[in-house]
Amino acid sequence: MENIVNKTIKNLKFAFVHESQIRCLYEIFAQRASKEGYTLISNFLEDMASNKQQNAYWNYMMLQKIAFKVPIEESSVTFEDIPSIGNTSQNLLTAMKIEDYEWRVMYKDYSEEALEERYEEIASRFQAISERERKFFERFKIFSELFDENKLIRNESVVVWECQGCGFQIHKESLPDDWICPSCGHMKSYFQKKYLNISQGSTDIWVCMECGEEVYMKNLPEGFKCPNCGKSNEYFRRKKAENITDDIFSVSETIWECMECGNEVRMKEIPENWRCISCGKPKSYFKRKSGKPDTTKYAFKKREKAIWYCPMCGREVEIELPEDWTCPYCGSKV
Give me the sheet containing 169-170, strands edge to edge. Answer: 169-170, 157-163, 191-197
Identify the pLDDT of residue 244.
36
Class level of CATH domain 157-197: mainly beta
Residue 292's Cα: distance from chain center in Å? 21
CA distances from 100 to 89, 103, 107, 124 (A): 17, 6, 11, 19
Q: State the alpha helices, DSSP H only, in the chain.
A: 2-35, 39-66, 88-101, 107-116, 120-148
Residue 95: predicted pLDDT = 94
pLDDT of residue 250: 47
| pLDDT at residue 247 in the model | 44
pLDDT at residue 32, rounded to an integer: 92
pLDDT value of position 63: 86
Reduced to 3 states (helix: H, G, I; strand: E, B; else coil), residue 193 is strand
193 alpha-carbon distance from chain centroid:
22
> Which residues does the chain have with pLDDT short of 70?
1-6, 67-81, 151-158, 195-204, 214-218, 239-253, 268, 290-334
pLDDT at 111: 92
- pLDDT at position 242: 44
Domain ranges in the chain?
157-197
pLDDT tens profile 194-231:
765 555 444 567 788 887 776 666 677 777 777 778 88
Cα separation, 111 vs 299, in Å, equals: 35
pLDDT at 243: 38
Query: What is the spatial distance between Cα 164 and Cα 191, in angstroms, rounded to a whole number?
Result: 6
Task: Give pLDDT, residue 218.
Answer: 63
Measured from the Cβ of residue 80, the count of other Cβ atoms closer than 10 Å reads 5
